[in-house]
Amino acid sequence: MRPAAAHLADPLAIPIALLATAGLWLLGQPWWLAVPAGIVVLGVHLGSAAWFAKRRPAPPVEGVAADWQKFGLTRKEIEVVPLVARGLPYKQIARMTFNSERTIENHVDHIKKKLDVHSRAEITAFAMRHQLLSPADLGGGPDSPK
């Protein structure tokens, strides 16, 4: 889900631009410099609001993913574990998660370190032992081919 971008409906956007324009004009700047400066201030305000909106903390995870978090896994690592458990190659996992193969290899390496295991098979065994994967995660759900 994408965060809402900042726009002119922001209750502070127009007052900030007007205050900047009026302040510059009152400080002796000609109107033809004060107005563009106010517009620049408005752009900076909207741009910074959009930048901060993208960096809001993600909502807490629920269910099985929350169980993974107690082992110190990040959201992306939690997303990768079921795909690793299915035995998918790095290349396919990378395509499915819109990452590079190298990024997926890094995620799997981090998962191994955090779970203190040495292989992809051990990641799956760890997940099964701790009941952290559902049958759907392993490809055995209602949508899996028979």
- On average, the pLDDT of the chain sits at 79
Identify the pLDDT of residue 101. Answer: 93
Identify the pLDDT of residue 130. Answer: 82
Instruction: Tell me phi and psi for residue 145, to 5 degrees.
Output: -70, 145
Identify the pLDDT of residue 3. Answer: 43
E strand segments, 1-146: none
| pLDDT band per the 50, 70, 90 thresholds, residue 131 | confident
Q: What is the mean pLDDT of the segment spanning 34-40?
A: 87
DSSP at 29: -
Q: What is the mean pLDDT of the segment spanning 20-38?
A: 86
Determine if the pTM surpasses 0.75. no
Flag whether pLDDT at 119 surpasses 60.
Answer: yes
Compute CA distances 91 → 52, 60, 80, 99, 105, whole Å.
33, 29, 12, 9, 10
Identify the pLDDT of residue 6. Answer: 59
- What's the start-to-end Cα distance of the chain, in Å? 33
Minimal CA–CA distance to 15: which of 23, 26, 5? 23
> In CATH, what number does 64-129 get?
1.10.10.10
The span from the CA of 21 to the CA of 44, in Å, is: 14
Over residues 50-103, the pLDDT tens digits come to 766 665 555 555 555 667 778 888 888 888 888 998 899 999 999 888 889 999
Are 111 and 80 in contact by the 8 Å Cβ rule? The answer is yes
The span from the CA of 21 to the CA of 29, in Å, is: 9
Are 66 and 78 in contact by the 8 Å Cβ rule? The answer is no
Identify the pLDDT of residue 1. Answer: 39
Q: What is the mean pLDDT of the segment spanning 13-23?
A: 83
Minimal CA–CA distance to 71: which of 135, 129, 5? 129
The proportion of the chain whose per-residue pLDDT surpasses 90, expressed as a percent, equals 21
